[in-house]
Structure 1
């Protein structure tokens, strides 16, 4: 029986889990997902359910205590972290994986490397040039970036780019969109940013009353709901709605950006605050390529008509954002890398 490929899934936001399922199902022998809150949410893939490692309800990915310079998150005397480390180590010892994809955690990457397992580190957007990230990148057999190479941060050094397998649209394009609803402004809200303020979207809708505003994702109900604003909450057909919208408004997370680029929709990007300037970096690259109208601050009510006019004026699609994509391409790369690392007798750098 072939030695398995593992996929560690971070539990902040939902993009990590969606990527893991798409890639795992495309692998010839599947993958085992390791993470928190995966039970019943892994498609048909096997799961190693891990105890929660959070100190409270929030999670910024970096603890505030004194710690070794090569770590981000290592609070002491935390039972959840003790147990998840033990479970991962036990799975490694029993299953002898040929590869572990880490999406994302420098600590899990280091644990796997100490346990003699080659890693593929998922390299997210932003300025991730701090010591913990660089150590994880150097120790990995390969790096997987779930975005177009043209969206990489300008400060990314050449050696990191050369080690990276760029894989936009890992989750695919989604269902084919129907007829474009030119008068619809679709607001896409994700899991990673908390609950959005519905009163803000009500102000935006009032600023452009000749458009139908449709909000999907977590959003509070505004005190007064304008007639041209619809709150749909969570939906199962987000990609289809994105593909048929006249204009899309959203943050700079990989999910919404990938769907917008796949369907080539006019995009107003409002990046959210994230560690390492993840969303700001990507938004700036989108803006510089002409793929989005970008506002780093929340637009005043009077600014919304100008933003919609600006994004409607964008006609030529950036050639830099045309690239092969899909989970099948990632799966073939991982299988080749896994074969290479297990058959080689050389030490993994």
Structure 2
């Protein structure tokens, strides 16, 4: 009987969930998704879903994260948190009951190390940015292999050689590349993902007024009050950003994995405004895109006077640069890599425990 695979999904934003579902659907063996899925529609998920208790601290909690005494190999280990205890207990129970071949961890240093204590092989997803702190390095060291959801050409210069050697560069695990269909309408599409703070209505209105000859379509959350010019269209959450990106002459957005993958798949000219993330994840990726001539980079939201220059620079980009980063077989290649490691551990078998002499 084929042993299943587990995929641990981090709750920040929606990118981890979408990536997990895409990988699970491409695998040739059962794959269970484990995580906190509050607010996510799990209907139609390609495999079992194990919904774990939330491990976040409640609003207004006194922050007993135990930081003064927290082991240096952990990022997050709050004390006296029953949700965290139950969460880890359910992961252990799932592992004991299903005997998985391995666990993909996307992402959590603590879950990666906990899986090692459970004698469960892991493939740890390694996000972009400078992740040379002790908790990340120990999670990487504990893993069988690492999966980077970006092309090797975007690798950080600070990444140690031994980490690179363990890494499978998955590429951009987004929609399949699609040829331009000639249906561009000259619009500018601004995309805000679930993992960030969203946009400010006043800032967007000022940007739209700076280029009144173009329609601006904004996808994702927008906060605040301001008069809206007629060329600014606020759509909120949309079920699929791809049709909007397909019609756009230019895309403006952060450097999250989902946005970059969607822009690359369509080969769209891109003005990248990286958002603040831990370990410089988005800034590092955005700088890599700019270095390749695949995007125009601006760190922070531009003032209105800059928009004309930025849009002109974006429209002057060669869209083939970012389009070349979209690999048609990236998802299938990564699913095959995960399946190969699972099969390797199955062939190896469990280590024989030493039996006590009574």
TM-score normalised by the chain length of structure 2:
0.90
* Greater Rg over alpha carbons, structure: 2
2:22 pairs with 1:45? no
Task: Describe how 1:58-97 pairs up with structure 2 within 5 A.
Answer: 65-66=67-68, 67-97=70-100
Counterpart of 1:103 in structure 2 is 106
Question: 1: distance between equivalents of 2:296 and 2:337?
Answer: 34
Quote how far apart the aligned CAs of 1:235 are.
1.2
Of 289, 293, 303, 1:300 maps to: 303
**Contact 2:265 2:326 survives alignment (8 Å):** no
Q: How does 1:233-252 map to 2 (within 5 A)?
A: 233-252=236-255
In structure 2, distance between residues paired with 1:64 and 1:321: 42
Deviation at 1:20, TM superposition (A): 0.6
Q: Name the residue aligned to 2:57.
A: 55
Query: Cα deviations across residues 193-239 of structure 1 (Å, max 9, x unaligned)?
Result: 02321111111000111111000111136421101100111112212
Task: Tell me, yes or no, if structure 1 residue 268 matches structure 2 residue 271.
Answer: yes
Unaligned runs of 5+ in 2: 352-358
For the residues of structure 1 that align with 2:6 and 2:310, how far apart are their CA atoms? Answer: 43
Structure 2 distance, partners of 1:141, 1:127, is 21
SS in 2 for 1:230: strand
**Cα distance 1:12–1:183, how it changes in 2: closer, same or farther (>3 A)?**
same
Match of 2:133? 130
Report the CA distance shift for 1:336/1:242 in structure 2 as closer, same or farther (over 3 A). Answer: same
Inter-partner Cα distance in structure 2 for 1:149 and 1:244: 29
CA-atom RMSD in angstroms: 2.2
Corresponding residue to 2:344 among 317, 340, 343: 340
The question of whether the paired residues in 2 share the 8 Å contact of 1:187 and 1:213 is answered with: yes
The gaps in structure 1 that reach 5 residues or longer are none
Match of 2:33, SS state, is strand
Match for residue 289 of structure 1? 292
Aligned equivalents of 1:322 and 1:21: distance in 2? 19
* In 1: Cα distance, 2:32 partner to 2:260 partner: 27
Correspondence 1:316-331 to 2 at 5 A: 317-318=320-321, 321=325, 323-331=327-335
Question: 1:174–1:239: 8 Å Cα contact kept in structure 2?
Answer: no
Residue 356 of structure 2 is matched in structure 1 by none
By how many angstroms is 1:164 displaced? 1.1
User: What per-residue deviation string (whole Å, max 9, x for no partner) do you get for residues 140-198 of structure 1?
Assistant: 11111111111111211222222111112323237876534242000011000023211
Count of paired positions: 344
Q: Deviations over 1:99-156 (max 9, x none)?
A: 1000000100011111011000000010011111011111111111111111111211
Give the TM-score, by structure 1 length: 0.93
